[in-house]
Structure 1
Amino acid sequence: MHGKAATCLTIKLTENSVSARVQGAAARCDVEPPMNEWRVPADDVPHTRTWMSWPSRRSVWGRRLAGVQQDIALIARTVAAYEPVIMCAPDETAARAARAACGPGVTVIGSIPTDDLWMRDTCAVFRRDGRGHLDAVSLNFNGWGRKQTHRDDAEVAWGVAEFNGIPISEAGFVGEGGAIETDGDGTVMATESSLVNKNRNCGMSRDEIEGEVLAAYGAEKMIWVPGVRGRDITDDHIDVTSRFAGPGVVMVQVPPDYRNDVWARDAREQFAVLSAATDAKGRRLQVIRVEGPDTVRSRSSAFVDSYLNFHLVNGAVIAAQFGDARKDDAARRTLAEAFPGRQVVQLDVDRLMDGGGGIHCSTMHEPIP
């Protein structure tokens, strides 16, 4: 870990995690090419599988747990129709419940303990070198800036790398997978509110954080948007509002004109910043405007009404719908145009989205090397 970040964050290592890291280091000696060849690919590359995590703690979800479990099972079964899914469960009791809910098409394992379901933020970020090799990087998950204690989740990246038998290293910054979007062609983007934040990267300047993100992702240019600090647990992850649809192409969800809350202002600002930005190749970004829903079924202030928190799988786009027929259909058409050749599947996962995250937040893709 970067020395300046380490002064403000301590990650507890268990004996098992130390063993995994030692094994990973040994594997790197055998297969790792020069670091500048590693790159995190875009989400739309072919996948080996999707990783997920089974929610089981009533201390986290309370009375909402059963509903959230049903939504996670629905996502897992839907993804499994297109590519393999591995669901991590914290113990055998949880594993039995996950198997019963997800069915035989989903592989449930208990060898990688987890605290919660947000696999996008806790899982290893996979990288390829273009020569058939795969490795992983840990973003040093710390409970979204120490807002919650996630001791098992802090070790998930290492467990996934060990499961796959691939090398893993620590990024030089603290963050989460949902905080950073990459086009796989040299450009990444993120909110300043999430990464340039003392609760994650105390003592590091924006330039220092940017350098470490580019090094970890194998990218050449980072586009920053301001974001919203301290209003949700993630400090405003970019994958709720802005997503890459391909090199030089970004999708941004904007709210109805009547909304002027902090999230609406944030979305309009992201749209403006990205509309004026260029990528690592010097291309002016093409920004696709996605209209957010006018109405939703939930009354929760934490509800994530994002069409763009979708998960790409082999042959499909798995996205949310909110019961707003006109806007749901418009979003489906836009996603189909952005990802030609993929079926768009829209799910009602309101109970998950009441918890402050969505389909992308609960999944992590593993690319084919």
Structure 2
Amino acid sequence: MNLIILTLLAVISTSCDEKEQYPDDTMTETLYRMPEESEMHEGTWLQWPHQYQYGTAYRNSLDATWVEMTKALVTSEKVHIVAYNEAEKNRITHLLSNSGIPINNVDFKLYKTDDVWVRDNGPIYVRDKSGKLVIEDWGFNGWGNKTDEDSGELIESANCNKIPAKIAADQGRTLIDLNSTMINEGGSVEVDGHGTLMACKSSILNSNRNLGMTQQQAEAIFKKYLGVTHFIWLDGQAGLDLTDQHIDGFARFGNASTIVTMEQEDLLDFDVKQSDINTLYAAKNKNGEAFHFVKVPLTQHNVKKTDGKDLGYKGSYINYYIANNKVLVPNYNDPNDAVANQIIQKLYPTRTVVGIDVRNLYANGGMIHCVTQQQPAD
């Protein structure tokens, strides 16, 4: 009899724990709010490419893109560069010096990283109820424990997953450890700063990230930790790419009333499902108001790397980054670079659009937004 009672108590306790971890959305209190990207920044975080994971050819092919980003950003805000070690810091400093880039607005942190995708593994800065800036450390497992296409080995992610905690410790900020709560890459979610979140289910509600998590549970977590109460969910496509289709490659909040995306034909070309296009175009904000859409074309031609290798697919301009007085837009040495830059410039008239050559980066699956992370102003 005692054994039966203890077993029942254990079941009840487990049930209570699950309810506490994944509360019903209607019962969840909002504790933090994530500022929208266009709000004032203290700085931008970059993880500089290195040779310790994929070799010197990989590193050298990407250096120029990081130099261009740094050059554009230093006149806008601080640039926080994560360098793998002291030798890499010296190498990067030399690169910046040779390009005539002043480093008075640059600082370095020496942290080991696995790769460059700071949007996905880096710190998520949010404000608590008093307005204080704190860092959230969401779990990162290499986009669902993916394997590298070339080597066939598991993509290493342990170093990158430690970056938010290291930054919080260095800055003396409160760290909200969400590693056991949710695996969530920064590129998976778009927030408008006014209570709406947009995401693809495929990169969040996926057994390779959050086994068994329901949409209701995910919404409760996002409500509590990002301050959102309204959700635009696209299905996405698991297995389509390394990320299982991050939203920030094809749809972004331009501002509180605007979604930046593409025409239907280009979205289909970018492997967005018709049903998701229909959902996106019908999206409304938390007040039930329809969004205004700004549509930017894909590149006219398939993207070619700087060495001439044809990647076999077109490039997206949606994955741009909003800095204080600049907007960094992916460029591909394509006729539509100028078209895209002009459209995005009209959306941000008080900022200057700077085209950044991302051809070699794009070969590895990402663009500007994927490799930048904002630190809001205190």
Tell me the TM-score range normalised by the shorter chain.
Answer: 0.7 to 0.9
Q: What SS does the corresponding residue of 1:82 show, helix, strand or coil?
A: coil
Alpha-carbon shift at residue 230 of structure 1 (Å): 0.9
Q: 1:344, 1:237 → 2: CA distance?
A: 23
1:199-219 C-alpha deviation (Å, 9 max, x unpaired): 100121122122212222111
Q: Structure 1 residues 55, 337: closer, same or farther in 2, change over 3 A?
A: same
Counterpart residue number, 1:30: none
Q: What SS does the corresponding residue of 1:283 show, helix, strand or coil?
A: coil
2:203–2:236 CA contact under 8 A, matched in 1: yes
1:49–1:366 CA contact under 8 A, matched in 2: yes
Alpha-carbon shift at residue 102 of structure 1 (Å): 2.8
Q: What SS does the corresponding residue of 2:60 show, helix, strand or coil?
A: helix
2:160 to 137, 147, 153: 153
Asked if 1:230 corresponds to 2:239, the answer is yes
1:216-253 C-alpha deviation (Å, 9 max, x unpaired): 21111111111121121111111110000111311113
Q: Structure 1 residues 170, 254: closer, same or farther in 2, change over 3 A?
A: farther
Alpha-carbon shift at residue 292 of structure 1 (Å): 1.1
Asked if 1:279 corresponds to 2:288, the answer is no
Counterpart residue number, 1:81: 75
Alpha-carbon shift at residue 281 of structure 1 (Å): 2.1
Q: 1:100, 1:37 → 2: CA distance?
A: 43
1:239 to 238, 244, 248: 248
Q: What SS does the corresponding residue of 1:59 show, helix, strand or coil?
A: helix
1:239-292 C-alpha deviation (Å, 9 max, x unpaired): 1100001113111134756x955x3444x5544212212121221122222111
Q: 1:52, 1:302 → 2: CA distance?
A: 28
Alpha-carbon shift at residue 37 of structure 1 (Å): 4.8
Q: Structure 1 residues 181, 300: closer, same or farther in 2, change over 3 A?
A: farther
1:145-171 C-alpha deviation (Å, 9 max, x unpaired): 111121110110111112221111133
2:135–2:168 CA contact under 8 A, matched in 1: yes
Alpha-carbon shift at residue 340 of structure 1 (Å): 2.1
Give the fraction of aligned pairs with identical amino acids, expressed as a percent. 27
Asked if 1:318 corresponds to 2:328, the answer is yes
Counterpart residue number, 1:125: 124
2:200 to 191, 196, 221: 191
Amino acid paired to 1:115? D
Q: Structure 1 residues 233, 302: closer, same or farther in 2, change over 3 A?
A: farther
Ranges of 4+ aligned residues in structure 1 off by more than 6 Å: none
1:181–1:190 CA contact under 8 A, matched in 2: yes
Q: 1:173, 1:361 → 2: CA distance?
A: 20
- Structure 2: state its 5+ residue gaps: 1-16, 19-27, 147-154
Q: Structure 1 residues 291, 200: closer, same or farther in 2, change over 3 A?
A: same
Q: 1:60, 1:344 → 2: CA distance?
A: 31
Q: C-alpha root-mean-square deviation of aligned residues, in Å?
A: 2.4
Q: Structure 1 residues 300, 206: closer, same or farther in 2, change over 3 A?
A: farther
Asked if 1:334 corresponds to 2:343, the answer is yes
Q: 1:81, 1:296 → 2: CA distance?
A: 33
1:357 to 366, 370, 373: 366
Q: Give me the TM-score of the superposition, normalised by structure 2.
A: 0.82
1:293 to 285, 299, 307: 299
Bigger Rg, which one? 2
1:304–1:354 CA contact under 8 A, matched in 2: no
Amino acid paired to 2:231? M
Q: Structure 1 residues 93, 80: closer, same or farther in 2, change over 3 A?
A: same
The aligned length equals 335
1:5-16 correspondence runs (5 A): none
